[in-house]
Structure 1
Amino acid sequence: MTAHQQVSMDWMTDPADEGHVPADLHPEIPHPARMYDYYLGGKDNFPADREAAERVMAISPMVRISALANRAFLQRAVRHLAEQGVAQFLDIGTGIPTAGNTHQVAQQINPEARVAYLDNDPIVLVHSRALLASASKGTATVVQADLRDPAAILADPHVRQVLDLGKPVALLLFAVLHFIDEADDPYGLVRQLVDALPSGSYLALSHGTSDFVPAEDATKGPAIYRGATAQLTMRSREQVLRFFEGLELEEPGIVTAPLWRADQPEQPTDATTGIWAAVGRKP
């Protein structure tokens, strides 16, 4: 399967019908991307995903609110960056596409905006390639790549075909770094990517946190993910802030996702939504 091959989504039209699901997608194992899709109210998930997601929500009722807030932050951040004149977006760990994807938001501001979507997940790639099947050639691409290998990402010919890494790029890491544990050096991975981008580039990032969860519950949600295809490592505000070392934080700094340049009236849960969010500029 090549990075630009169009793939049929017909098997996913009814998530309850598992009779035609490719075996290598393992619908019997909870999958974080499909669980996230379920949190967002999507249909691209299976019973195992829904059961695991419901268990997480029983422990942390704010999870669905956090997922929706993260998605809204993505859209506001991309819109802000496009309005700042950024025309190139490197979106890593994209997740299953839903309404208001990066290229859709950015190209509303600048029709010439260019987006490279990267994910290491075959499920995500199926959906993303189908979404982009009708996109104008060269404005967006989907590449199979792993955040744990920044050098391969930066050298990938499909990425370089769409993005000019000599000009400012917005590096987007929305709700992906909490799937990178400490043994894989998440700070080093982000630094390698940021260091390769020119002055005027941006890092936009969101990250799950247990800062607002009672201590006795902080490990229960991640424990459920240990039975899924990816593990979960929550980080504190101070730990998330470390990803922005050397960058100039855009106002309002690092805040919970609903409070980053909010465009809706503040809700009682906004200050304790379990997603830290920020955007930083490389000087």
Structure 2
Amino acid sequence: MVAERGSDGGGLIAPGIDTTRPSIARVYDLFLGGKDNYESDRALYRQIVEIAPETPVWARENRRWLGRVIAYLARQARISQFLDAGSGLPTAENTHQIAQRHDPEVKVVYVDNDPSVITHGQALLVDNESTQFAAADLTDVCQVLTEPAVTKLIDFDRPVAVLLAMVLHHIEDIQDARRIVAEYADALPSGSYLAISHAVNPRDGSEADGLATAIEARFKPFFPTLTPRTPAEIATLFDGLDLVDPGLVRLFDWRHQTDEDLPDLRPAAAHLLYGAVARKP
């Protein structure tokens, strides 16, 4: 696979990458300050921050939440195998970097089907024998679990942590989202964990409802399945699992570290991302 630099000064272009339409992975990376993006991504970015200037803050908060989750799982829960499904573009403080800092023996497999992510992810991990990349659709759980990269590193006779960060709100039908989570959970042994972060729309007529609805309207023409959900709807994704304290909460309320600065968000923007970690009994 030969990659070339885009004419607009953006990221590398490999076969299969459509630079004329925004990629959710590249837009999210742009919120994090990444450079692997194109004008189509930047145009949507500008539209989103016009409505919600806090969007880059949300992206950073999701990364910080993920960092706390991985640290908890690797250090306290003693999980040594991670499956990061819908991982997105590699950036600073990736799952394997955080987990292997706590335990160098940790095994990590990233899963994504975005061509941009596949190109960059495989290049990043070429020299790390404890980390693999699987080019697969996270919604096809059977495909994911039988991918050679997964079966090479993950031992499903021992506890595994499955990370589903900021991906399930791209599945329009909540029944499908529940099925996907349940299929991952069913495949895991007792003592395994699932971690989920999810976009929220309280749908209660509040200012937060209005802001979430406006953001959704901007995304919909490009990502028509985007579906923020109420906290009560998100909670049903964890049916049959034991929530780890403090349960399903705003991302920055999940085991917030005292040395971390809380994000400066207007009230309407402070309730639009929730996350939780749950253990399989």
TM-score, normalised with respect to structure 2:
0.90
RMSD: 2.2
Determine if the alignment matches structure 1 residue 72 to structure 2 residue 64: yes
SS in 2 for 1:189: helix
Q: State the match for 2:157 in structure 1.
A: 166
Determine if the alignment matches structure 1 residue 29 to structure 2 residue 21: yes
Question: C-alpha distance in 2, partners of 1:104/1:270?
Answer: 32
Which residue of 8, 12, 16 maps to 2:8? 16
Q: Deviations over 1:8-39 (max 9, x none)?
A: 6x635x78326973463111211111110111
Trace 1:117-196 onto structure 2 (pairs within 5 A): 117-135=110-128, 137=129, 139-182=130-173, 185-196=176-187
SS in 1 for 2:73: helix
SS in 1 for 2:121: helix
Q: Deviations over 1:135-174 (max 9, x none)?
A: 1x2x111011112211111222321111001110001000
Q: State the match for 1:93 in structure 2.
A: 86
Q: State the match for 2:108 in structure 1.
A: 115
Question: C-alpha distance in 2, partners of 1:105/1:19?
Answer: 25
SS in 2 for 1:134: coil
Cα pair distance change 1:224/1:184, threshold 3 Å: farther
Q: State the match for 1:269 in structure 2.
A: 265
Question: C-alpha distance in 2, partners of 1:125/1:95?
Answer: 9
Cα pair distance change 1:230/1:46, threshold 3 Å: farther
The question of whether the paired residues in 1 share the 8 Å contact of 2:81 and 2:161 is answered with: yes
The question of whether the paired residues in 1 share the 8 Å contact of 2:112 and 2:134 is answered with: yes
Q: State the match for 2:245 in structure 1.
A: 251
The question of whether the paired residues in 1 share the 8 Å contact of 2:26 and 2:37 is answered with: yes
Question: C-alpha distance in 2, partners of 1:90/1:68?
Answer: 21
Identity among equivalent pairs (%): 37
SS in 1 for 2:16: helix
Q: Deviations over 1:199-221 (max 9, x none)?
A: 00001110011237544443332
Q: State the match for 2:278 in structure 1.
A: 280
Question: C-alpha distance in 2, partners of 1:183/1:171?
Answer: 19
Amino acid at match of 2:164: L
The question of whether the paired residues in 2 share the 8 Å contact of 1:30 and 1:227 is answered with: no
TM-score, normalised with respect to structure 1:
0.89
The question of whether the paired residues in 2 share the 8 Å contact of 1:18 and 1:27 is answered with: no
Q: State the match for 1:41 in structure 2.
A: 33
Q: In the TM superposition, what is the alpha-carbon distance from 1:198 to its structure 2 partner?
A: 0.5
The question of whether the paired residues in 1 share the 8 Å contact of 2:212 and 2:272 is answered with: no
Aligned residues: 273
Q: Which moves more between the two structures, 211-220 or 41-50? A: 211-220
Question: C-alpha distance in 1, partners of 2:70/2:161?
Answer: 9
Q: State the match for 1:3 in structure 2.
A: none
Q: Which moves more between the two structures, 22-31 or 247-256? A: 22-31
Q: State the match for 1:103 in structure 2.
A: 96
Q: In the TM superposition, what is the alpha-carbon distance from 1:259 to its structure 2 partner?
A: 1.4
The question of whether the paired residues in 2 share the 8 Å contact of 1:40 and 1:68 is answered with: yes
The question of whether the paired residues in 2 share the 8 Å contact of 1:89 and 1:114 is answered with: yes
Cα pair distance change 1:269/1:19, threshold 3 Å: closer
SS in 2 for 1:280: strand
Cα pair distance change 1:163/1:94, threshold 3 Å: same
Q: State the match for 1:4 in structure 2.
A: none
Question: C-alpha distance in 1, partners of 2:126/2:15?
Answer: 24
SS in 1 for 2:275: strand
Question: C-alpha distance in 2, partners of 1:273/1:48?
Answer: 28
The question of whether the paired residues in 2 share the 8 Å contact of 1:210 and 1:234 is answered with: yes
Q: State the match for 2:254 in structure 1.
A: 260
Structure 1: 5+ residue stretches without partners? 1-6
